[in-house]
């Protein structure tokens, strides 16, 4: 009885106010916090009460200490941001998270769900690769898998009896989706080795066939695939299709650093000078010499020096008449003892090499029609070139098992196949093509 009286007093001392529209998320949040703060658990809750999904505690603390004035101090945009359905499962297109099934729509009978927070209907294809397409799910998956296995646009359209423009749109949407999935999942990877290399390709025309005007365009001509490969887990850490410039190599090293857990791997590469500059740019530190006196030339401006933890070795190939006659290795950064320790603990490398990244380049040429030599399936636009690379990369990481990554079962009677994503600890099973293309890229 005392609790009821205290709650009633609080409720009276905190009269309801209308700040925004009744159906707005900000007003609903205000109603919910007011109800929780007054402790009115003896009556039925009003219809505007909403589920905060773990977000109530910080807002309630602010509400308790500063009262109504503190709540009004929150901007409307902030309140709306705290209550957006993106944080509660609406945009993630996950039927089991914050949604209830409503009905089916379209000729493909796509499920339409209703969000329990904002009462808005949304498609089950939202935030997936199938969003915006009119193809049925089976045809879309066949198109994506055919392209990921090395078939061309026209070949796929003839086999599946689809228009080539439809196949092309599927390739673009599937490639973009795989790129978003990689950005969500490929983080905090523990890297021990990283091999750097470049692979030649072209878009629209080869560089020697370009006119003087076309040579000014950066999206056509020779396009180099700048690759960072992790040989132990067989992961493509970065693939940057661009002109062979220092900025392209810097994008590769930046991607490696952002995807790692902070541990600096052993870098190996060829004699391309841009590798050293990019590593110093990403992992080095600025140094400046102090002036010794007032007479004489002033010291040069700040320059980059390697940190104590970076290790980089180069493989030099000696060629005669276009053929490799010998291979020599050289340690550029780091100590020989540290590099030998990393190689001694490696499950694949026994010496300084770039063999694994070069073998992965062959895999890309065999399974990507746009990279195959002596073919008419080359890319005519850089956007299509990038989309196909991302699609093949997602298929390689999550769907296709790698034979060198298999492990024995606990009883030792059979082999367990694994994908590179399983070896890296990103997932615990081999994905299907449907799982890859319907994985919500904004899943929280």
Q: pLDDT digits over 235-290, tens only?
A: 999 999 999 999 999 999 999 999 998 899 999 999 898 999 999 999 988 887 77
- Where helices occur in 14-129 by DSSP H, the ranges are 25-38, 56-73, 76-82
| pLDDT for residue 195 | 97
Strands 285-287 and 110-115: unpaired
**CA gap 285, 140 in Å, rounded:** 48
Parts of the chain with a pLDDT under 50: 1-16, 18-23, 40-54, 66-84, 86-89, 91-98, 443-444
| pLDDT for residue 89 | 47
Query: What's the longest Cα–Cα distance across the chain?
Result: 98
| pLDDT for residue 229 | 97
Residue 413 half-sphere exposure, CB side, CA atoms within 13 Å? 1
**CA gap 414, 285 in Å, rounded:** 50
Burial tier of 11 (Cβ tally within 10 Å: 0-12, 13-18, 19+):
middle
Query: How many residues does the structure list for the chain?
Result: 444
Full-model pTM: 0.76
Strands 285-287 and 303-305: antiparallel
| pLDDT for residue 329 | 92
Instruction: Write down the domain spans for the chain.
Output: 2-83, 86-126, 173-289+303-401+429-435
**CA gap 388, 225 in Å, rounded:** 13
| pLDDT for residue 397 | 96
């Amino acid at each position: 009885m005392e609790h009821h009286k205290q709650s009633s007093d609080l409720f009276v001392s905190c009269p309801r106010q209308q700040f925004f529209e009744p159906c707005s998320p900000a007003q609903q949040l205000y109603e919910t916090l007011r109800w929780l703060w007054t402790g009115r658990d003896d009556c039925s809750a009003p219809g505007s009460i909403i589920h905060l999904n773990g977000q109530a505690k910080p807002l309630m603390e602010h509400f308790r200490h500063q009262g109504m004035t503190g709540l009004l101090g929150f901007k409307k945009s902030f309140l709306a941001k705290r209550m957006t359905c993106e944080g509660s499962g609406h945009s993630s297109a996950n039927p089991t998270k914050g949604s209830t099934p409503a009905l089916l729509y379209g000729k493909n009978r796509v499920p339409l769900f209703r969000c329990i927070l904002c009462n808005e209907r949304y498609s089950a294809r939202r935030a997936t690769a199938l969003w915006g397409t009119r193809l049925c799910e089976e045809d879309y998956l066949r198109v994506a898998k055919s392209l990921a296995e090395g078939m061309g646009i026209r070949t796929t359209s003839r086999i599946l009896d689809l228009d080539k423009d439809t196949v092309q749109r599927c390739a673009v949407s599937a490639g973009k989706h795989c790129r978003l999935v990689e950005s969500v999942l490929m983080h905090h990877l523990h890297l021990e080795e990283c091999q750097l290399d470049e692979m030649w390709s072209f878009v629209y025309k080869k560089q020697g066939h370009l006119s003087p005007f076309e040579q000014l365009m950066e999206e056509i001509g020779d396009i180099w695939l700048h690759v960072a490969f992790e040989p132990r887990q067989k992961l493509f850490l970065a693939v940057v299709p661009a002109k062979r410039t220092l900025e392209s190599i810097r994008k590769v090293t930046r991607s490696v650093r952002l995807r790692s857990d902070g541990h600096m791997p052993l870098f190996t590469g060829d004699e391309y000078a841009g590798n050293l500059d990019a590593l110093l740019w990403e992992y080095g530190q600025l140094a400046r010499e102090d002036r010794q006196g007032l007479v004489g030339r002033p010291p040069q401006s700040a320059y980059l020096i390697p940190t104590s933890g970076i290790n980089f070795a180069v493989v030099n190939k000696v060629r005669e008449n276009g053929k490799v006659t010998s291979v020599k290795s050289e340690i550029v950064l780091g100590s020989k003892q540290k590099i030998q320790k990393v190689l001694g603990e490696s499950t694949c490398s026994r010496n300084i090499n770039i063999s694994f990244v070069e073998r992965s380049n062959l895999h890309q040429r065999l399974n990507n029609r746009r990279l195959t030599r002596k073919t008419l399936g080359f890319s005519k636009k850089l956007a299509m070139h990038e989309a196909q690379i991302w699609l093949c990369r997602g298929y390689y990481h999550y769907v296709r098992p790698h034979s060198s990554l298999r492990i024995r079962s606990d009883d030792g009677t059979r082999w367990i196949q694994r994908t590179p994503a399983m070896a890296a600890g990103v997932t615990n099973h081999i994905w299907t093509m449907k799982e890859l293309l319907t994985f919500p890229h904004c899943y929280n």
